[in-house]
Amino acid sequence: MAYTSLSKIEQAHTRSSPLSRTGRVFARAWAKHPLRVGAIAPSSRRLARLITSEISPASAPVLELGPGTGVFTRALLSRGLCQEHLILVECDPFFAHLLKHDYPQARIYQEGVERLRHINLLGSERAGAVVSGLPLLSMTMRSRIAILTFAFRHLRPGASYYQFTYGLRCPVPRALLERMGLKAVRMGSTLMNAPPATVYRIRARRRQR
């Protein structure tokens, strides 16, 4: 998918390390689209370690939704995955440019998940995990359904969708989970994030024999 050219200032940002420019890049994106970004600061490395804690090279390929500045992406690489095993879906064009620069071997799609819901990104292959940085709480129920439908269509049987939230409960309501045949389990929380965040693992319910 098409990428527009970077400005000179943005090109300078790409020459610095990913960690050093994360705050600047995030602040720029948040100022332009606060609802789309859905947070006031980038996710912390502690949150990134929590949300990726159950993922290993055996999970490859891994689909990441809303990678933003790449905090979770870097955590996935530290878990032993290769760039070639990552499929990154990012709707913000500036974030998508930076991800393309930082992870040239990853498959990167600049598009909203809702618009990709009828597209199979992996062909006959299936992902071993989906990691979501999408702000579900700020989205409509219709968008949440589209995102979950997209994610579970790409997951292999028994694989998990990982979602973090700033809310007190799972961002996917129980009624919707039951309607879609899903089950959410709270994995843990971290106070070392602004604001504090909680991670949920969501899986398809096993059918009763």
pLDDT surpassing 70 at residue 18: no
Secondary structure (H, E, C), the chain: CCCCCCCHHHHHHHHCCHHHHHHHHHHHHHHHCHHHHCCCCCCCHHHHHHHCCCCCHHHCCEEEECCCCCHHHHHHHHCCCCHHHEEEECCCHHHHHHHHHHCCCCEEECCCHHHHCCCCCCCCCCEEEEEECCCHHHCCHHHHHHHHHHHHHHEEEEEEEEEEECCCCCCCCHHHHHHHCEEEEEEEEECCCCCCEEEEEEEECCCCC
For each of the domains in the chain, give its residue range(s) and CATH number, in order of start. Answer: 8-204 (3.40.50.150)
> What pLDDT sits at residue 88?
97
The candidate with the shortest Cα–Cα distance to 38, out of 92, 81, 2, is 92
The candidate with the shortest Cα–Cα distance to 32, out of 74, 88, 87, 91, is 91
- Taking the CB of residue 195, how many other CB atoms lie within 10 A of it? 10
104/120 Cα distance (integer angstroms): 21
Note whether 123 and 29 are within 8 A (CB).
no
pLDDT digits (tens, 9 = 90+) for 101-145: 999 999 999 988 878 877 888 888 999 999 999 999 999 999 999
The better pLDDT of the pair 65, 117 is held by: 65
Cα 51 versus chain centre, distance: 10
pTM (two decimals): 0.80
Q: Where is average pLDDT lowest: 35-39, 114-118, 190-194?
A: 35-39
Proportion of the chain above pLDDT 90, given as a percent: 65
Q: State the pairing for strand pair 155-165/197-204.
A: antiparallel
Please identify which residue in the block is written with the tokens 């000179």.
Answer: 8
